[in-house]
Structures are given as structure tokens and as C-alpha cells.
A and B are shown apart, each in its own frame.
Chain A
Amino acid sequence: MANLKTVSKKSKAQSMGMHTEVLTGRTQQKFFNPDEAENFYYFGTYDVDFNKRTDLDVKDMTAPEANKEIDNLMSQGYGTIVIKNPQGKHSLGVGILNKLNLIFEGSLGYFGMGSCDGPIVRINGRVGWSCAENLMAGKVVIEKNAGSCFGAAIRGGDLICKGSVGARTGIDMKGGTIIIGGDAGAFTGFMMQRGRIIILGDVGINLGDSMYDGTIFVGGEIGSYGSDAVDAELTKSDQDWLKRKLKVAEIGENFDVSKMKKIVAGKKLWNYDNLEPTEKKGAI
């Protein structure tokens, strides 16, 4: 149990800016300690070489077979894998927990690149619903359009769609950045808890509905605001960050970020107290 409010000296992780939370009351939360990084082990990960490259044609494979083969190639040290003929198959490239250059020459179906932590992915096509759900770290770039629930519940990483996306983009996201080059559908940022969403085009109704925290930047028209989503001032540092992010994302580099709207949580729906969730459970 730790009561961080009483900790006078910042932990190393805090000093490094890895988290900034100051929790009150008792908590069972344990933060990552960089000094113990060498003891940190991720099951099912591989040390791959980016210069070792191969192609994989998945035309006649099922999704489990294709994913198993990707895993097999990573175990052999391949760090750059080009997937041919994905043809809209569901659940391709899921659960990759190490660095990897993954290129899809075609489109993915639902749940593509779900639960990943680390890979850099380029999809030269479209993706279906729930692309990169639960992404922890890494970068996923989609050259065309994306379906609904794009980047649902991501915790980190960059998720970039150069085309338009469907409804509920960034639903329940807890970190990371989502960048949309085109338009976004209804309920974008629904119940988001942290992280940032950038939409260069228009966005549908109920933007940021019931968002707890985080920030949404919109370049085009907004259909309507969701419950508790409010405008905020676009600061100089916001603009600098947007410019840098768009440049790195290879998208909207010349976009006039000074005209973007910034939307945050009004926090009127907040009803927090000093109890931590684990203690609330105990009280019940």
C-alpha cells in the first residue's frame, strides 16, 4: 500500500515523466520502476532485427494461421514483415508485444492490430471496426479509411488514419494519440479518459460525450457536442504540439492549426471522492 501524497521525494518513474498521478488515500497501484527494467519480462516477445525482412502471403490462410506465421517469423528474428493479400480478413496482427516493422499491402477487417505493444505498422488499405483496440505503444498508420470504434480503449502509441473514420473513435481511450486526416463519425471520444484525438476534417454528433478527461482537437465542423464536452482555449503550446505531431505523422503538415477547436471535459459529471476504487469495493 502506498500513499503517494505523503511521498516527499518523487520516484524515478515520476521524475522521468512516466506518470504524474498524485493519488490520495490508500492504493494498491504499483508503478513501473526503471531500475528494475532488466527484470521485466513480457511473455511471447522476441528480439528482432529490422534489417531482416520477409514477405508473407496470407491469401489462403485463416487469421489464426496468419498470426501464428507472423509469430513464427518474429521468433526467427525477422524485424520487417510485409503481409500480402490480407483481403479484409479479421483479427490480423493481433497481440504483437515487441518492436516490429509490419506492413500490410491491402485492407484489414475487424479487430486488426488489437492488443499490441510496440510494433510500427503501416496498412496500405482500409481497416474495419475496432482497429488497434487496446494499443499500448507503437504506431499504426492507415492509408485509407477506417471503420467504427477506431482505437477503442488505447492506452498509448500513435494511431493515424489518413482517410475518414466511423463512429465512436477513441471510445474509452486511456492514453496515446489518434490522428484522423478526414472526417469522423458520431460519438467521437465517447467516455475517453485520457489521451488526445486530432481530427482535421468534420466530426459528427455528440463529440466527446461523457468524456472524463483528455483533449480533442477538431479542424472542421462539429455536428454537436456531447454531454459535458466543452470548448477550451487553444494555447501556443497546443499549437506547437499539434504542428509537431502532424509533421511526424506525415499528415496535414501544412494544416493551419491555429484555427482548430479544442474540446475538453467540463467535469460537471465528475462525482469522485477520496476513496480509491479498491476501497469502494470493500465498502460495498
Chain B
Amino acid sequence: MCGIAGLIHRGKSSNVGSELQGMLQALKHRGEDSTGYALYGDTDGKNFIMRFKVGENVGEGSSSVMEDVSVYDERKKIVDQTLAEMGAKVVKEERTLPYSLRYELDYNVKDLLEFSQRIESIPGVEILSMGKSLEVIKDLGNAKMVCDRYSLDKVVGTHAIGHARMATESGVDIKSAHPFWGYPFSDVSVVHNGQLTNYWNNRRVLENKGMRFMSECDSELIAVYIAEKMRDGATLEEGMKASLTGLDGVFTYFVATKDSLGMAKDTMAAKPLVLYESDDLVAMGSEEIAIRSVLPQEIDTYDPFDGEVKVWQI
């Protein structure tokens, strides 16, 4: 059991960090091994924002190996050096935690594949997100703990998706936590509730096509699967529709891009989703109480049917 939540404001911005925190905290009983946020903030769109980690949270409950902070420092140095070699200028640097960093990069490139491959060739380094609006923040603990740790409650933007995780298929660590970045596409993120049963078959096929997997979490497959479809020219919605037959198992998942938010539900409708839709806001979550945290008044909600795919624009 995991919980997912998402919202998109149409035609305006809002405090999506605080709103998503409320939605995910309402779902904490569905899992609080880790919580992740994919926030699409208001930016000037000039610089890339790279969220990356140089180590794991080794706190209580973690399945990661303890490392000294000096190891993190060393990895960060190599990242800085590699960025300089590639001509990427660090405009702003934040190191919220010893293992978690946020860089704003002045870097003019369209294909992020080579960039990402070089950065992630540094052992222990993983890009959590790369984009001009997207920031993926994920860590161990429930929504409030992660929100407080990273001061997310002040983030203003148009849309966001998030995940409260009960670890079942892989370890309790940041690399297995959701959301997953739709590597190597700028501003694409995915969260998933369910279980994919043809993970290894699909992974082998996709790896042979040059796609990258960072964890052994089955949910990562969705991000990679859709990214591969988009690489071949499909739209987000086409990629999501293909996933209904390409992925086997039970799932409800959200995908977000710079200007859109989509949901897909498997053909057996085995995983829950409640949806609220109005002219200026779409809010959805595994349970209605998630939506109620941002819309306490009486509203009309519904369950999307089996095999349904929907995409909304900002």
C-alpha cells in the first residue's frame, strides 16, 4: 500500500508545496517509509534546476550503508569539476543536507542524456530531477518531516505530484522513493501506487535500448517506459495509453511535465483513485481525505474507471 496525490492549478499559481504536504500527510497511514514531492515551481525558465544526491539518508529504518560525510564532500567536488568541464555554470548552490543538493545551472543544451550520464557516472551520485521548473525532493519519513526538512511549504507553483511510500518491493532508501524523474527528459516526473509484474522483462528490453534504471523499484519502470515512448516521438498521453497494455500488474500512476499532469489506471481498476475536477483546479489522491485537506468544503468527486487515462494542462 502506498498513497499518491497530485494537483494542478489552471491559469494561476498557488502554494503547491504546502498544499501537497497536506494531501500527503493525510495519506501517511498508507506508508511513511519515505515521502517524495515533485513540485513545478514558478521560475523565470532561464536556468536548469538540478536536484541530486551524493549519498543516502542512513537514519533509523534506512536500508542504506553508513558513509562518512567526507565521502559526500568528495563526490560533490567531482560533480562540480564535471559540471565545469561540460561548460555548466553553477548560478546558485544549496546544500540542504549533507547528502542532498540543489543547483541552478546556466547550461544551454537540449539533450540531457549525455549530461546525465556523465554526472551519474560518478559513483554514489544520482540526479533526482533536472528541469527548468521541476524539483524532486524525496527522503525518509512522512510528508511533514520531509517538508520541514527541506522547507517546501513556501514553494509556489502551478502543479505538483507526490507519494507516501510503504516499501514492499525494494529498500527503504531515497533511490527507491518516488517520484521518479523521467530520465533524461527535462521536467518529467512519475509517482505510482501498485505493483508491476513484468518489471524485469520490460527492464531488460529498455536497457537494451539505452534507457537507464537507478533502482530496483518496479515503479521506476513507468518513468522509463514513458520516457522511451516520448523519445520515439509519442506524446505524453500516447505513452500513457500504451502503458495500459505494455505494463502488467495493478497500478494507478501520475505523470507530470512542465505544463501538464496526467493519470492512468490499470484495466482492472485495482488501485484506488479519487478525483476532483473544476475549471481552475484538479486534485486527486488515493483517498478522498487527501483532497479534503485542500478543499474542506463539500465537493463532487469521483473514481476514474478502469483503463482510464486523463491529461490536464495548466
Contact = CB atoms under 8 A, between A and B. Distances in A.
Given A148-B272, A186-B268, A204 B306 contact: yes
A145 B301 contact: yes
Interface string B240-272: 000000000000000000000000000111101
Given A87-B292, A205-B267, A126 B305 contact: no
B289 A89 contact: yes
19 contacts: A88-B287, A106-B298, A109-B288, A109-B289, A126-B288, A126-B300, A128-B287, A128-B288, A144-B300, A145-B303, A148-B272, A167-B270, A167-B305, A168-B269, A183-B305, A185-B269, A187-B268, A187-B269, A204-B269
Q: Is the interface of A mostly helix, strand, loop or mixed?
A: loop
Q: Is the interface of B mostly helix, strand, loop or mixed?
A: loop
Closest 3 CB pairs of A and B: A88-B288, A167-B269, A166-B303
B134 interface: no
A220 to B, nearest CB: 13
Contacts of A89: 289
Interface of B: 267-270, 272, 274, 287-289, 291-292, 296, 298, 300-303, 305-307
Contacts of A163: 302
Contacts of B288: 88, 107, 109, 126, 128
A185 B306 CA distance: 7
Contacts of A88: 287-289, 291-292
A100 B287 CA distance: 28
Given A109-B289, A146-B303, A164-B302, 6 more contacts: A87-B292, A107-B298, A126-B302, A128-B287, A129-B272, A186-B307
Contacts of B270: 167
Nearest to A165: B303
Contacts of A165: 303
B306 A87 contact: no
A215 to B, nearest CB: 23
A147 interface: yes
Nearest to B308: A185
A167 B306 contact: yes
Contacts of A110: 287
